[in-house]
Amino acid sequence: MNHSTRLQWFPVSFFSMVMGLTGLAIAWQKAENALNWQVHPSTALLGLAVLSFVTLLLFYGAKLVRHPSAVSQEFNHPVKLSFFPTITISLLLLSVALLPLNRSLSFWLWVVGASSHLLFTIRIISIWIQRNNLEIAQLNPAWFIPVVGNIIVPLAGIEHAPPEISWFFFSIGLVFWIVLFAIMLYRLIFQPALPGKLVPTLFILIAPPPAGFLSLLKLHGTGSEAGTILYWLALFLFIPLAAQLKLFLKLKFFLSWWAYTFPLAALTIASFAMGRETGLAAFTVGALVLCGLLSLLAAGILIRTIVAATRREICVEE
């Protein structure tokens, strides 16, 4: 298979790797603060996330130029469509990670990320409404990405724009999360099981509550009862999914394995925030344990991704 053909099948879902790596970098920023470390591994991790984003953007840009029909095919696919906003969410997360390091760069990443994510949200909701061939069996947790991803905007947005803008995005993400979560439960209970390639996306179910908790902290400036509910719900969702470890270990490697990373990062960061808000050391200790687990998981998946790329197991026709 030549390079042009591999480029044709370069998947947009690759950007979920940037979400995982950036989430890991932010988690380590919180760990460094909690431990009062003078060394900053988060800086190296952030550099890796930025490098990954730029590299993937160049490859996907080349795909758009050389194989526009392949990009169009992805955008019209009922599953792959939901992964396009991983590009804009990556920008939003990079904005959060860069905020303490370069406020100006963080601002522009946030502006581009928030505005383009809103456009994706509007376009994808329009597609959901207009299409008459969508089936409940096609629903999977990746559908959360386009609309529920708006809940992330306030994490940096509260520092860069009037709070009303952050409330606007937060409201979209929260309400659509409630609706899609109910539909998703129906699909999981009453429809056939997810295909193996999409099973890792079950971890996406964990992400909205801790992200919502963190956004509420930014919006209120302190903890709230609603935020506390979201945090405990996230922790509860993590438990039954962690109990399925044997199932996840049996799965063949797919790029969808990166779906394990950002939700776990969101829960880790939220646990650090709970420790800071409550003053209870148990939350901080739990967050450090989760950070270690997240680091091992991300390292393992990164290595497996590199191996899969060298073996030409990815970027191939499905």
Nearest 10 degrees: Cα torsion 291, 297, 302, 303: 130
Residue 3 has pLDDT above 90, yes or no: no
Residues 6 or more apart from 247 whose CB is under 8 A from it? 199
Percent of the chain surpassing pLDDT 90: 81
Residue 76 has pLDDT above 60, yes or no: yes
CA angle 63, 305, 288 (to 5 degrees): 125
Tokens 């890991």: give the residue: 24
DSSP state letter for 300: H
**pLDDT (tens digit per residue) in 254-307:** 888 999 999 999 999 999 999 999 999 999 999 999 999 999 999 999 999 999
Instruction: For residues 165 and 152, give the distance between their C-alpha atoms in angstroms, rounded to a whole number.
Output: 12
Instruction: For residues 99 and 310, give the distance between their C-alpha atoms in angstroms, rounded to a whole number.
Output: 35
Residue 5 has pLDDT above 80, yes or no: no
pTM across the whole model:
0.94
Backbone angles phi and psi of 162, in degrees to 5:
-55, 145
Mean pLDDT, range 82-91, rounded to an integer: 97
Of 1.10.3210.10, 3.30.360.10, 3.40.50.300, 1.50.10.150, the CATH number of 3-310 is: 1.50.10.150
Mean pLDDT, range 35-56, rounded to an integer: 94
Instruction: For residues 262 and 244, give the distance between their C-alpha atoms in angstroms, rounded to a whole number.
Output: 18
**pLDDT (tens digit per residue) in 157-183:** 999 999 999 999 999 999 999 999 999
Mean pLDDT, range 187-208, rounded to an integer: 92
